[in-house]
Amino acid sequence: VLTPAQIKSICQAILDSGKQYAIKKRKPFPLMYSYYGTEYLGAAHGLSSILQMLLSYHEHLKPSDRELVWQSVDFLMEQEQNCNWPPELGETIERENELVHWCHGAPGIAYLFAKAYLVSKKPQYLDTCIRCGELTWQKGLLKKGPGICHGVAGSAYVFLLLYRLTGNSKYIYRAQSLFPVNLIKMEHLLYTRQHCFK
Ligand SMILES: [Zn+2]
């Protein structure tokens, strides 16, 4: 739908915004963003999905800008805390309040490292992606509904991603094992509580 020139100009706007913010806030890495004043890291509002998008169109970036993206990917990888990432830059994860959702945490950030691996073929990115999946499996079912953002489907998708990356049938088993629970939970919420989902 978009022409290469349009894609290039969107990527340039994203890069310019990230560079300006990082300089203004004196960040020790080249690209950063804030959303309503918060420096989010996760997939819903944060750095990880912005970098994932830029990597998806890396062939449209200048080599110097591509390098800034990789530096930021590596910076984000260094922010890992026991296979997870805090919602906000600089936060320490408290185990009792840990978020392991697509929107905040490993199940969403996994997609950035999957893309980084597919583009670079560097094994450290695949290893990080696998650690995201292990934590998602260890934490088990989310109790916040069947959706993607912070629900069961968002966790299940990580295993479909890992299956496609590795071909390991362990991951398809894990994705399938979340699926029936997801449907039962959705049916319960829709028909018992008469609750509507977006
Ligand atoms: Zn969410």
- The CATH number corresponding to 2-176 among 1.10.3720.10, 1.10.10.10, 1.10.150.50, 1.50.10.10 equals 1.50.10.10
Domain ranges of the chain: 2-176
Cα 92 to Cα 4, 20, 86, 136: the distances in Å are 40, 26, 7, 19
Give the mean pLDDT per block of 10 residues along the chain (198 residues).
95 98 95 96 96 97 97 96 95 90 96 98 97 93 84 91 96 84 57 44
Cα 106 to Cα 29, 95, 129, 137, 187: the distances in Å are 21, 14, 8, 11, 27
Does 129 count as an annotated binding residue? no
Q: How far is the CA of 101 from the centre of ligand 1 (A)?
A: 7
Residues with CB under 5 A from ligand 1 (ion): 103, 149-150
